[in-house]
Amino acid sequence: MQKILSVSIAAVAAAFAGISPRAIAAEGKRLVVGEVPSHTVGAYRPFVIPGEIAESDGMVERRKGREIVVWCPERTSRSNPAALAAAKRFVESPFLPVGSIRLGYAGDAKGEALLKSLGVSYKAYGPNEVWQLGGMQMVALGPGTQELFRGDRIATLKRILAEKPVLALPGADLALLPVAVGRARAKPGAEAKVPKLPLFLGTSADFAEFASRSAGAELAVAEGGPAWIQSTSPACFAHIQNRDRFVALFCVAPSDVPESARPSLTRVWCTMLANLNIESGCDEKDAAPAKSGARSNTGR
């Protein structure tokens, strides 16, 4: 049974004594001790506080709108009370969640299908509405833009991409980006790594599993790019930021990899999308608690 912790010390003590605490939470934040939701898609990610809570502590965070729910497994509450105390301080803190960003999409149906499969909330704009992308906070660039957007419309799209943060999806026309970067194909090496950047927070375990299960397969990777590009190894994901320009380059979709590697890669995608503060279209009720003894979809 899940127990919502009160922001009071008494409620925390009651939870560990097996007594149901009062269902009270700090504004916009809840801390739940119990079974962690088993999820495939949505704005779930490992709950990490650098220096206090590591990925291996097994906590999961779910953001939706201006609400944050943090789940702490019973085993973590017993084995690592310091991590639970840090999560409780986070819930009690005056920090309030910011609203998710507005994501616009430009591209064909294939890119839209990928976003839908991951539960992403977005608004698509066609050639006659391209100028409206300027009102969005981030633009997801999908494949097929050169066929859909022509003449002055492709010029407008390119100008907006130079002004807005960009999420470049697999197959996107990289020539439209405000930075020079390409794609190639490569096999995963012996060691999988992710950069120590906010975009990749909480992805190291799942990325390592994905790379291991993709051994021997040729994967799309970022190639070249400016001196300040920071990529995973293999370079399936890249972070490009300089002054007011930001590009998150995602080269590989879950459908592009061996079936055994898809769950871990899907979790990498969902974690990174949550790190970008992109709203998920997946409702909390769609995530059932993980069965006791079953492997969590957080990879832990």
CATH 3.90.550, domain 103-284, yes or no: no
pLDDT band at 279 (very low <50, low <70, confident <90, very high): confident
pLDDT tens digit sequence for 181-235: 999 999 887 789 999 998 998 899 899 999 999 988 999 999 999 999 999 999 9
CA distance 284 to 300: 20
Other C-beta atoms within 10 Å of 38: how many? 17
pTM for the model stands at 0.78
| Residue 40 confidence (pLDDT) above 70 | no
The chain-wide mean pLDDT, for the chain, equals 81
More confident residue, 134 or 286: 134
More confident residue, 15 or 207: 207
* 115, 140 Cβ separation under 8 angstroms: yes
- DSSP type of residue 176: G
Measured CA to CA in angstroms, residue 36 lies from 12, 119, 252 at distances of 18, 19, 28
Parts of the chain belonging to CATH 3.40.50: 103-284
